[in-house]
Amino acid sequence: MEQSRARSATAPTAVSRTAVAPTAVSPTAVWPESVPDAVPFASLEASTGREPEPATRGEHTHSEPAPPKVVPQRHSVRDQILEALRDALLSGELVPGEVYSAPALAERFGVSATPVREAMQLLASEGAVETVPNRGFRVARYSPRDLAELSEIRALLEVPAVLALARSQPAERWTRLRPLAEDTLRAAACGDRTAYAETDRAFHRGVLELTGNRQLVAVAEDVQRRAHLSALRASPAPRTTDLLAEAADHLALLDALTDQDLPAVERLVRGHF
């Protein structure tokens, strides 16, 4: 009996481990004049520093299982950096024709070069940057011809799709999209080109998602993203009044869709590009 009590007193207990989630990337931290101290995105696992001793053979121990470790997803870091880089492209902080290396950007982000390089590769696939061997990535230049071609592609994709929706969707579907159109008006009123581009994409995505065609939505959004960059590079920056007029077209389009006014729908969609 005394020996049994002694064994029970020395039975090992479970050691729990926790993990610290990765710190969020701040887009404004990319472009300071001086490079900030690096804060690497890593999983920091807390530990007692001592592993439990194995149980005596034949002895049953009862303890709560250790909670699962929180493993930070590398893709989440990459996606945060991707959005920060897209904002910098739209705002002009990444200068057309300039070459940026992944390690230099990574140092400013306070992360390893891998997620930065992955984000830049995605931007290259979108046509926003070009790969320069052994140097990094050059911000793409766009010409008026590029903008005209992209506008033509958008019309080919969106006009037939929106006209088909105008014939088939009930009026209440368009009412649900009005908050997205109002978001574009607010962004336009602030003169914030980056915010306007984001809200404009959200509105068009909301409309095209009603088709149920995921590939159409993805391709149209990619072309629209290229068109936004092309417009910024190939023409003067739009004035607040221009943005407001474009945003007002969203509300006018919803009214035409609600009324199933097909000529007005086609005119507004084509004129939007």
Domain covering 26-31+72-141, topology: Arc Repressor Mutant, subunit A (1.10.10)
Intervals of the chain under pLDDT 50: 1-72
pLDDT at 143: 86
3-state SS, one letter per residue, for 15-64 = CCCEEECCCCCCHHHHCCCCCCCCCCCCCEEECCCCCCCCCCCCCCCCCC
Query: Domains of the chain: which residue ranges?
Result: 26-31+72-141, 144-272
- Do β-strands 129-132 and 99-100 pair in parallel, antiparallel, or remain unpaired? unpaired
Written as one string, the DSSP assignment of 72-131 is PPHHHHHHHHHHHHHHHHHHT-S-TT-EE-HHHHHHHHTS-HHHHHHHHHHHHHTTSEEE
Residue-wise pLDDT for 48-78, tens only, equals 334 444 444 444 434 444 444 433 455 688 8
What is the model's pLDDT at position 240?
A: 86
The architecture in CATH of the region 144-272 reads: Up-down Bundle (1.20)
Amino acid letter, residue 129: V
- Hey, how many other C-beta atoms are within 10 angstroms of the C-beta on 192? 17
Of 235, 249, 270, 237, residue with least CA distance to 184: 249
Mean model confidence pLDDT for the chain? 78
